[in-house]
Amino acid sequence: MHTGGYDIGVVPGDGIGPELVGSAQEVLTAAAGDGVEVRFHVEDAGADTYRRTGTACSDETFDRLRSYDGILKGPVGLPGVRRPDGTEGGLLGGLLRGGLDTYVNERPISLLPGVDGPLRGERRIDHVIVRENTEGLYLARGLGVGNERAVVDQLLMTREGVERVVRYAFELARRRPGAPADGVHRVTCVDKANVLRSFAFFRRIFDEIAEEYPDVQTDHRYADAAGHDLVVDPEHFDVLVMENFLGDILSDVAAATVGGLGMCPGGNIGDAHAYFEPIHGSAPAIAGRDLANPVSQILAAAMLADHLGERPVGDRIRAAVRTGFARGDIVILPSGSPKDGTDAVTRAVIGALES
């Protein structure tokens, strides 16, 4: 146990963010119990901040975020809050992912018992998408050049950037139980090496690093085929590693197979800093109406606990969420909203923690 406790930066975010983050804070506090002290420090960042102050995150806020033991972040973004070039104002991905050098975006995709996914039959879905988080196409965030007739955004890959994210994927595969279909520890490299030189480079480096991990099976998929197989044969996958933009798209595809974006947390993880958030947006249309599914944010808090070295706390949260679904206390409607509302999910998870 970490006797000094933890200082956690909290970015409630926009839209449904504050209610989700409130739910996750309550669950984390309850799961940590008396043994682990968690102190929350609320910080102002996101689209509403951009609208009020002209910047999504001030330098002072960023410096404080850097200083915490970990960060719990809600979704950000509001319709109509746009930069002059038409892209969203108030997004924090470029700023925090690049600024904190969180080069891994770890997105676990798990079908929980009792959750009605859209795929037919008894499915066992449990894999992790490892999305490169600091380069690739999204390095061009806010930097594209163009005029009224043409615009270009560039995709960049560096050897160091690819090596470190691929290594992370192999290390993760070593710790996991393997693919649901066959128990094989497997890392799938997802790319378009057949079309673009940058992806051929990604694959070549992947194959080099793979040689350091003879105990983990290596596997390749072109990104389009990966999208197909994530839907048709998700049991095959254990860990998948890919470029930033591909990971953004395919993690939403994979999320659909396990009951939707509201079920899926993500960790932005680097060697010195990490922050945890849902993989979805801020859904302003349903904000403040007790309609949002807080599971993604609660599971993000579990990942934060793991990251702090408090794995038992993370395990308790995940077990409580599973119990809530298995008991039928948590039911997500086809609309994506919990049957009895956001707060009822929080109560169900806390109730399951205590049982």
Residues that bind Mg ion (CB under 5 A): 248
**Candidates 252, 290, 315, 340; catalytic one:** 252
**Candidates 192, 290, 315, 340; catalytic one:** 192
Closest-by-Cβ residue to Mg ion is 248
Active site residue 192: yes
Active site residue 248: yes
Q: Which lies closer to ligand IPM via its Cβ, residue 191 or residue 248? A: 248
- What 3-state class would DSSP assign to 329? coil
Distance, CA of 266 to CA of 276 (rounded, Å): 6
Measure CA 25 to chain center.
17
Active site residue 182: no
CB of 250 vs Mg ion, minimal distance in Å: 10
Task: Please provide residue 248's backbone torsions phi and psi, each rounded to the nearest 5 degrees.
Answer: -60, -45
Q: Which lies closer to Mg ion via its Cβ, residue 251 or residue 337? A: 251
**Candidates 224, 233, 271, 339; catalytic one:** 224
Q: Which lies closer to ligand IPM via its Cβ, residue 254 or residue 349? A: 254
Active site residue 69: no
**Partner from ligand IPM, Mg ion, none binding residue 22, C-beta < 5-8 Å depending on class:** none
Contact 274, 51 (CB under 8 A): no
CB of 234 vs Mg ion, minimal distance in Å: 19
DSSP 256-267: HHTT-GGG-EEE
Contact 353, 317 (CB under 8 A): yes
Distance, CA of 11 to CA of 252 (rounded, Å): 22
Helices in the chain by DSSP H: which ranges?
17-32, 47-53, 59-67, 99, 159-175, 197-210, 223-232, 244-257, 295-307, 311-326, 342-354
Task: Dig out the tokens for 199 from the structure.
Answer: 């992806």
Pairing of strands 104-110, 126-132: antiparallel
Q: Which lies closer to Mg ion via its Cβ, residue 106 or residue 248? A: 248
CB of 139 vs ligand IPM, minimal distance in Å: 12
**Partner from ligand IPM, Mg ion, none binding residue 93, C-beta < 5-8 Å depending on class:** ligand IPM
Active site residue 73: no
CB of 248 vs Mg ion, minimal distance in Å: 4
**Candidates 14, 126, 248, 329; catalytic one:** 248
* Interaction site with ligand IPM (CB under 6 A): 77, 91, 93, 248, 279, 281
**Partner from Mg ion, ligand IPM, none binding residue 111, C-beta < 5-8 Å depending on class:** none
Q: Which lies closer to ligand IPM via its Cβ, residue 142 or residue 146? A: 142
Contact 270, 100 (CB under 8 A): yes
Residues designated as active site: 138, 192, 224, 248, 252
